[in-house]
Structure 1
């Protein structure tokens, strides 16, 4: 299915760097999008805070329309308004009363509330005109897909007469709000459009964290084995020197050399995994990914923590314990393993919380340090093949395949 002329793929990132959305964007940048009086506003990121019966829920990311009123830039300058489902739900025809469905079977007036409609049936300006004519203070459009879409105007529309803000949110956020209203809960929303800073310090933080992980992994073997290496020169401790040599031999045996075939197979496996992720995405598959990540994170964290502890306190690993399945294990290793398992479980349970990124990054960094210690590129030939395959992999999946898979999302244009 072909992509309409003037429409291209764009990724839009929220200010807190937690959500990426694909946006249907006309032309190459905002200035090339069709504009006329009343339909010349820039597209801005919107934060949508919500409360159900007074309990605050997850903040959603949205996008403003090319038309309508501007939103406040700060949360404190915005008002909390009640969300009401439109009747009909697509908001394409007038209705003086809006249903509040659920066990209360109440009926709410739309006046002064946020009209909540679903995408489709008519263009965005028609939805906004009808909602405004019935006294709505704002219009919230629920998209029919997870990507955000730019809400433009049809030629000849009276967009200049629309004086209420219009916001679009992804399908998942809309389903959550819709379910809450249908269940009889009082849903309240707050819109504001924060100003994006010229310098995104979170990107700098991510760059420092990534570089720090690679640097730490490159010197990790020196951190772990420096004491044992120095013991070679200690003639008063020949027995410990022998143990150090054995330890070094065991460490080298754990290293896996990646050859050319392994590099190619790795990229093919990663591509296959992405296809499975796209076609079979479901709740059980997400949990499978979480469990696998937790296992890898536990292994990496256990390896990093025990290495540091034994580096600082060499006598801590001498106390052993015989376990039925694991054999002889040091007490400190067992204690660290239990702590790592508890840490991973707590993160998995609270992974939707705003602070969960810290636990995820800790598990990921420990996992990558361990992987970089185990995997080794023996020569420049293998490194070149791996980097070239990774480059093709990245270009294909980020640009080419994304447009081909998502092309059906763009045949409706940007006005509805």
Structure 2
């Protein structure tokens, strides 16, 4: 940091970011221990040869010179020979640490740093030409308080999304057939992920990441548009169950032939859809307002993650393992391996997630949870004032947590798998934060989250002797064979023998999910409104995936 004050007094001093190399000379960590020296504006010169020095030198001054035409070593050697106490080099390009070799470092005893051209203009505009500056390098806290907020949002999203997805899946299996009360009560079908879909998904992720790395300025707006649409859909999906329970706005749209409106949705649901769309549009317009736009982005991001966890379903632990391991390799490769493959030496994943430093648009990808740094360190003004956590680090372990919850309910294991997986996710996230603090560089979170969640779930299934069912998902009600008291089909007209009335017990873990007892049927069968008066009466349908328990075995045979 460079602390700037006016020599004539007046306004309070201000800090600006500089990039320096401690191998030239060390800077004090405390501003109080830094010398306040006069800043000499020498930007008309590049200071590459002795004629560029002023006649009286830079006695006890810090010269401000332009970048270019020679090495950093040549500049700082001339400045030091002229009596300077430090050197600031103005750069219109991306700031880089001023480097040299070991021999050159040993010759130099004054600090040298790069200052951006924009900050130089702000200094002279705010303080005039007569200013004093102090160079210092404040220590950065290992962890920031914003990590607590990110931890709560991430673990809460995984827990809530996994619980909601599992309960919704089992409720659909055990819910009795009832009259359609409007299109808003028809829940979207979940999508079962297959190994082929996993391979296609990973290939698409790799391709998109590479395309973003090379064509960031063009594709970033496409990602922003996709985020606005998908996040508004997710927000609607999360809020619609609450709005449906409100007593207001139950009237419906009149009969019409318009698309979607011909289903006569509720007025309250239409207003909710407009509200969700308006929230995403407001974020899209003011997305670069660092003071408050991150709150909207996080709210939309959490809603998007909950919607995806509810919609995408991994049918087996085998599919969970395949998805998590493939994305584990993907994350590690693009963070730790790609720096050896790029010309700049930067990680493709970190470069895309934080936005390239040479981007002309200065836009950031919205597919992350972001919270500003909350510590009082002046460095919060500099490199990356936000801490980020990608949606993939929430969704991928969240899909495993949802599978664990569904399996818990089906085998009646008191949610032990779901709780263990959620706790393991929280521990893995803490390990990620510790690695981030110790290494001081971007970390592939799945490197720590995948082993924690997979090993914990697998070890628990092994300890409970349910690994086979857990691996194949055979504890689910849809895999239970038809019960022996079910009525014979037309293809099997042979009556059951009396000896067949005994009921074999299903294998362990394949017990049927208990369904609530059916309500008493009225003596007359009501006709749904949509069928009309001339439609034949419909027979009551038993719950999907559930078999009613008989009161006795008398008459079980045909």
TM range (shorter): 0.5 to 0.7
Instruction: Determine if the alignment matches structure 1 residue 255 to structure 2 residue 190.
Output: yes
Tell me which of 347, 354, 360 is aligned to 2:283.
347
Tell me which of 123, 130, 149 is aligned to 1:205.
149
Point out the more displaced range, 266-275 or 111-120. Answer: 111-120
- How far did 1:262 drift? 0.3
Q: 1:60 to 1:85 in 2, by over 3 A?
A: same
In 1: Cα distance, 2:206 partner to 2:127 partner: 41
In 2: Cα distance, 1:331 partner to 1:273 partner: 39
Cα displacement string for residues 336-361 of structure 1 (whole angstroms, at most 9, x for unaligned residues): 33333333233333333333322221
- Aligned residue for 2:272, secondary structure, equals helix
CA contact (8 A) 1:48 1:62 kept: no
Tell me which of 112, 123, 147 is aligned to 1:166.
112
Cα displacement string for residues 61-104 of structure 1 (whole angstroms, at most 9, x for unaligned residues): 74543233525546998979879573445x4345357xxxxxxx
In 2: Cα distance, 1:326 partner to 1:387 partner: 38
Q: 1:160 to 1:128 in 2, by over 3 A?
A: closer
- Aligned residue for 1:292, secondary structure, equals helix
Q: 1:138 to 1:299 in 2, by over 3 A?
A: farther
Specify the alignment match of 1:330 in structure 2.
266
Specify the alignment match of 2:70 in structure 1.
121
- Aligned residue for 1:167, secondary structure, equals strand
- Aligned residue for 2:197, secondary structure, equals helix
Cα displacement string for residues 132-164 of structure 1 (whole angstroms, at most 9, x for unaligned residues): 537586514648557x547455405564531xx
- How far did 1:205 drift? 3.1
Tell me which of 33, 43, 63 is aligned to 1:86.
43
In 2: Cα distance, 1:83 partner to 1:294 partner: 49
In 2: Cα distance, 1:190 partner to 1:326 partner: 65
Q: 1:218 to 1:161 in 2, by over 3 A?
A: closer
In 2: Cα distance, 1:66 partner to 1:224 partner: 59
Q: 1:300 to 1:192 in 2, by over 3 A?
A: farther
Instruction: Determine if the alignment matches structure 1 residue 372 to structure 2 residue 372.
Output: no
Count residues with an aligned counterpart: 328
Tell me which of 78, 88, 96 is aligned to 1:139.
88
Specify the alignment match of 1:215 in structure 2.
159
CA contact (8 A) 2:45 2:65 kept: no
In 2: Cα distance, 1:258 partner to 1:243 partner: 28
- How far did 1:244 drift? 7.7
CA contact (8 A) 2:29 2:136 kept: yes
Consecutive unaligned residues of structure 1, counting only runs of 5 or more, are 1-45, 98-108, 233-237, 410-416
In 1: Cα distance, 2:40 partner to 2:270 partner: 52
Tell me which of 205, 223, 231 is aligned to 1:270.
205
Cα displacement string for residues 292-344 of structure 1 (whole angstroms, at most 9, x for unaligned residues): 22222211122222233335x2x345233368454133332332333333332
CA contact (8 A) 1:92 1:127 kept: yes
Larger radius of gyration: 2
Specify the alignment match of 2:234 in structure 1.
300
Consecutive unaligned residues of structure 2, counting only runs of 5 or more, are 6-10, 347-558
Highest RCO, 1 vs 2 (Cα 8 Å, sep ≥ 6): 1
Cα displacement string for residues 240-298 of structure 1 (whole angstroms, at most 9, x for unaligned residues): x54489977x32x521111000001111000000111011122x422222222222221
Specify the alignment match of 1:5 in structure 2.
none
In 1: Cα distance, 2:303 partner to 2:65 partner: 44
Higher strand share: 1
CA contact (8 A) 2:62 2:85 kept: yes
Within a 5 Å distance, the mapping from 1:227-246 to structure 2 comes to: 241-243=178-180
Tell me which of 376, 381, 390 is aligned to 2:318.
381
CA contact (8 A) 2:60 2:84 kept: yes
Instruction: Determine if the alignment matches structure 1 residue 291 to structure 2 residue 240.
Output: no
CA contact (8 A) 1:221 1:373 kept: yes
- Aligned residue for 1:345, secondary structure, equals helix
Q: 1:205 to 1:68 in 2, by over 3 A?
A: same
- How far did 1:373 drift? 0.8
In 2: Cα distance, 1:243 partner to 1:83 partner: 79
- Aligned residue for 2:213, secondary structure, equals helix
Instruction: Determine if the alignment matches structure 1 residue 155 to structure 2 residue 103.
Output: yes
Cα displacement string for residues 13-40 of structure 1 (whole angstroms, at most 9, x for unaligned residues): xxxxxxxxxxxxxxxxxxxxxxxxxxxx
